[in-house]
Structure 1
Amino acid sequence: MTILVVGASGATGRLLVEQLLAQGEKVKIIVRSIDALPDVIKQNDQLMITESTLLDMTDAELQQHVQGCRAVVSCLGHNLNFNGMFGHPRRLVTGAVQRLCRAIEATAANITSTPVKFILMNTTGNQNTQAGEKVSVAQSMVVGLIRLLLPPHADNEEAAGYLQSRYGRHHKMIEWVAVRPDSLIDEGSVTHYQAYESPIRSAIFDAGKTSRINVANFMSQLVIDSGTWNKWKSKMPVLYNN
């Protein structure tokens, strides 16, 4: 079976693909340009690359890409420049999640065995209200301003909300996890980290650190390790470096 990764040319997506390939997994990726990929990835025989823009694909094309995949991982995010923050598509992540999930349902409609895993890279600034998470009034006000002024934050909230509202814990075709790292940093190797069901510190006033390579490692474990998946499915774990 195969894993589909979208957003694979991003800083975290590349690391995830590298780790999955190192585990001997077969991986498909959809990227706008292969130029951003390191040669060690592009030359791997276990990797299938499609150079395209996901939101421009037809439904039939997306269905072809998810067909036979046991997991789909979205590492998509907005570029940190003016066009990426305020240009179109403003709902890049949400649109991709919705279309990918519909493609999974279309191709798995006659399958009643193991649901497809859907893993979404999200943010600790997204409060999991369905799990009863509470934040201070001050943080709520700041996040409200961010939601109003910065479209990518609202996009991340809507993407996770779509998974929560549409796919319950016992859905036959799709199970999901939304991974919430805190402030992202770069490190050269996997280090000790911890996953929590909810934030243990304020994402606004006392943010922690999470290395991208640790996020990639956690997502790879969700893909390949059934115990990790069963612990976190239908949840929004928060990651911190130790």
Structure 2
Amino acid sequence: MTTLIVGASGATGKLLVEQLLKAGQKVKVIVRPTSNFPDAWNNHDRITVIPSNVTEMSVGEIARHLAGCQAIASCLGHNLTLKGIFGKPRKLVTDTVRLLCKAALESTPERPIKFVLMNTAGNSSVNESVSVKEKMAVALIRLLLPPHTDNEKAADYLWNSIGQQNPLMEWVVVRPDTLTNEREVTEYAVQASPTRSAIFNPGKTSRINVGHFMAMLITDEDLWEQWKGQMPVIYNIPKTASPIKIHRQEVGLF
């Protein structure tokens, strides 16, 4: 299986590439020519590096790169700088998701292409209810942090424009909570909806666990069938947590 990845040079994207390679997969990565990515990628027989700014590519160009791919993954996000947060492009993730989806649909695959989008636990699914207090906080965040709105609209595009019954594309939106850096994959739980407030009582999710779960979605058909068309939330399981409290029927445990 071959996966086309955008945002591959980011902190989580690099880990996703690593996890897919460990699973014996091939990857194509679209990275800006000025991006900082491992030199080894240029000489790896299962990595195709496409040096380009994805926002400047045409639908047809991306469709050509999608030839032979069975999955798309996006770990794209805004840089945590003043320019990255408040500068252009304001709709980096949304516009890229739309572009990738149009290219995938244009390529008319023999079977549905998988699309895995990294998002955030602060973005509520369309079928989730939140408290008035949290709604007010999110409204303020939308005003102060434009990237949050971008994440919301990117997920909304998959919900509303691609839908859950599209014969050419299936999707999963992965929602980690507060991101942390760890060296190794640890135990984590996957749930259909948040079990805590991402604003007032956030949990933690290591980037390597996010990369592992995204790779598992791409390579494990049973896991894909479980979560396709949904927005699962992923949390690290604290080392001190009692396993009795983890309900395997409700939580994907890895």
| Of 180, 184, 193, the match for 1:185 | 180
CA distance in 2, matches of 1:69, 1:142: 40
SS of 2:83 mapped into structure 1: helix
CA distance in 2, matches of 1:54, 1:158: 18
1:1-242 paired onto structure 2 within 5 Å: 1-33=1-33, 36-108=36-108, 111=109, 113-129=110-126, 131=127, 133-242=128-237
CA distance in 2, matches of 1:35, 1:203: 30
SS of 1:216 mapped into structure 2: helix
SS of 1:36 mapped into structure 2: coil
**Would the aligned equivalents of 2:41 and 2:49 in 1 still touch at CA under 8 Å?**
no
CA distance in 2, matches of 1:56, 1:39: 24
SS of 1:165 mapped into structure 2: helix
1:123-142, CA deviations, whole angstroms, 9 ceiling, x for partnerless residues? 0000112x2x1222111111
- Count of equivalent residues: 237
5+ residue gaps, structure 1, are none
* AA in 1 matched with 2:118: M
Aligned-residue RMSD, C-alpha: 1.2
If the length of structure 2 is used for normalisation, what is the TM-score? 0.90
Change (3 A) 1:209 1:76: same
1:45-103, CA deviations, whole angstroms, 9 ceiling, x for partnerless residues? 10000111001012221111122210000110000000000110000000000000000
**Would the aligned equivalents of 2:9 and 2:31 in 1 still touch at CA under 8 Å?**
yes
CA distance in 2, matches of 1:49, 1:6: 11
If the length of structure 1 is used for normalisation, what is the TM-score? 0.95
**Would the aligned equivalents of 1:9 and 1:34 in 2 still touch at CA under 8 Å?**
no
5+ residue gaps, structure 2, are 238-254
* AA in 2 matched with 1:162: Y
